[in-house]
Amino acid sequence: MSDRAVLHVRGRVLAGPDDVRDELWVVGGRITYDRPTAAQDVRTVEGWALPGLVDAHCHVGLGAHGPVDRDTAEKQALTDREAGTLLIRDAGSPSDTRWVDDRDDLPKIIRAGRHIARTRRYIRGYAHEIEPDALVTYVAQEARRGDGWVKLVGDWIDRDLGDLAPSWPRAEVEAAIAEAHRLGARVTAHCFAENSLRDLVEAGIDCIEHATGLTDDLIPLFAERGVAIVPTLVNIATFPKLAKGGEEKFPRWSAHMRRLYERRYDTVRNAYDAGIPVFVGTDAGGSLPHGLVAAEVEELVTAGLPADQALSATTWGARRWLGRPGLDEGAPADLVVYETDPRADVRVLAAPRRVVLNGRVMS
């Protein structure tokens, strides 16, 4: 398409949960609902259009053993793009991926800096590993490096205890979250266990990743404070394998991981029913492949979310939560077109018909 070309998307444009239109136009890489008065070249795409999908927990630049080279990170981002993921909240990465911002053919990334973990209490090569007295300093550093988010590791296996345990004392985490908020950043935390959650939420945290330890007594606290969760159910599906691998050395931890896995769908459904915001995240990078956003949406439906709410968790609702536009007048034209209505069957998301990024048809 030439610089003066116009893209015409027609069929059904799902601009919001209650905003369905028959067509939109892309002029100069941006969306308009006003028919252009003159166009030298018009290309038409037909189908069901959604805002570019959001993966709110995805690690571009991260591999199984830590940072990866630029070529590998590019392949990760391209895999996400081909799956329809056009906005990523990178929930912790040791790699500098700012170069992606200069590429108009790669998904847009909202970064949370590098993970901040307790010494020897996370995956080697991933995080800043520090002690509690340095937490405020490192949170301030990553708040300045990121794009409005900071990522803590809220719990991990304590080898002396032989089970999951909180990483941070209450006073230090309160001070660290207050400092992040002072600098204009929101804070999220990796949490598997039950006993790490209350202190983090009462300290003012904005989001919890995984949230497998969310119990009925904690749900009202989350709902009252508006703390979001990103369940990453495609990652939680690996818990039985992890538990089997650690059974001989850490039997208590293994049993705990199995219990968290077994109640995963009830946990997510109860959270949603209570009004806790739920968003799509895959935890791609590290041990999981990229491009799993459709599978995560399907998992949310399996857990009990209505199809339209599972879609919102990766489209309209997720973009609003992250402060990024959807299919709004004048917004960058980031959208995905499908053969049939994804509201009728979310599995349609696994087969994008066209991916449009910054107004360009990518596939």
Tens-digit pLDDT profile for residues 206-265: 999 999 999 999 999 999 999 999 999 999 999 999 999 999 999 999 999 999 999 999
Same domain, 195 and 225: yes
| For range 116-139, the mean pLDDT | 97
Confidence bin at 39 (pLDDT 50/70/90): low
Residue among 188, 239, 237, 192 nearest 212 (CA): 192
What are the DSSP calls for 56-84, one per residue?
A: EEE-TTEETTEE--HHHHHHHHHHHHHTT
pLDDT value at residue 4: 56
What are the DSSP calls for 76-142, one per residue?
A: HHHHHHHTTEEEEEE---SS--GGGGG-TTS-EEEE--S-EEETTSS-TTTSEEE-GGGHHHHHHHH
Neighbours of 324 (CB within 10 A): 20
Domain that holds residue 30: 5-51+326-361
Same domain, 257 and 354: no
Same domain, 36 and 171: no
Same domain, 301 and 195: yes
Cα 53 from Cα 32, distance rounded (Å): 19
pLDDT of residue 13 exceeding 80, the answer is yes
pLDDT in tens, 146-190: 999 999 999 999 999 999 999 999 999 999 999 999 999 999 999
3 state SS of 268:
helix
- Which residue shows structure tokens 């090569």? 125
- Cα Rg of the chain, angstroms: 21
pLDDT value at residue 1: 45
Bridge pairing between strands 116-118 and 155-158: unpaired
pTM of the model: 0.97
Cα 90 from Cα 62, distance rounded (Å): 10
pLDDT of residue 93 exceeding 80, the answer is yes
Contacts of 260 (CB under 8 A, 6+ apart): 192, 193, 212, 213, 236, 239
The answer to whether the CB of 87 falls within 8 A of the CB of 54 is yes
Percent of the residues in the chain that have a pLDDT greater than 90, as a whole number: 96
| For range 62-74, the mean pLDDT | 96
Tabulate helix, strand, coil % of the chain (nearest 5): 35, 30, 40
Same domain, 241 and 155: yes
Which CATH number covers residue 342?
2.30.40.10
The answer to whether the CB of 58 falls within 8 A of the CB of 95 is no
Same domain, 137 and 203: yes
Tokens of residue 197, six digits = 């959650």
Same domain, 13 and 109: no
Contacts of 333 (CB under 8 A, 6+ apart): 7, 26, 29, 30, 31, 356, 357, 358, 359
Burial of residue 133, with CB atoms counted within 10 A of its CB: 0-12 exposed, 13-18 middle, 19 or more buried: exposed
| For range 274-285, the mean pLDDT | 98
Give the amino acid at 256: H
Same domain, 187 and 111: yes
Same domain, 38 and 165: no
What are the DSSP calls for 144-190, one per residue?
A: HHSSSEEEEE-EEEETTTTEEEE-S-HHHHHHHHHHHHHTT-EEEEE
pLDDT of residue 40 exceeding 80, the answer is no
Same domain, 120 and 228: yes
- Which residue shows structure tokens 């080898």? 159
In the predicted model, what is the mean pLDDT of the chain?
A: 96
pLDDT of residue 137 exceeding 50, the answer is yes
Tokens of residue 134, six digits = 């340095």
- The angle subtended at Cα 191 by Cα 186 and Cα 193, nearest 5°, is 150
Cα 296 from Cα 280, distance rounded (Å): 7
Which CATH number covers residue 267?
3.20.20.140
pLDDT in tens, 290-341: 999 999 999 999 999 999 999 999 999 999 999 999 999 999 999 999 999 9
Cα 279 from Cα 231, distance rounded (Å): 7
Same domain, 47 and 84: no
pLDDT value at residue 5: 81
pLDDT of residue 352 exceeding 70, the answer is yes
End-to-end CA distance of the chain: 13
Q: How many domains does the chain have?
A: 2
Cα 49 from Cα 1, distance rounded (Å): 20
Same domain, 112 and 164: yes
- The angle subtended at Cα 300 by Cα 241 and Cα 313, nearest 5°, is 125
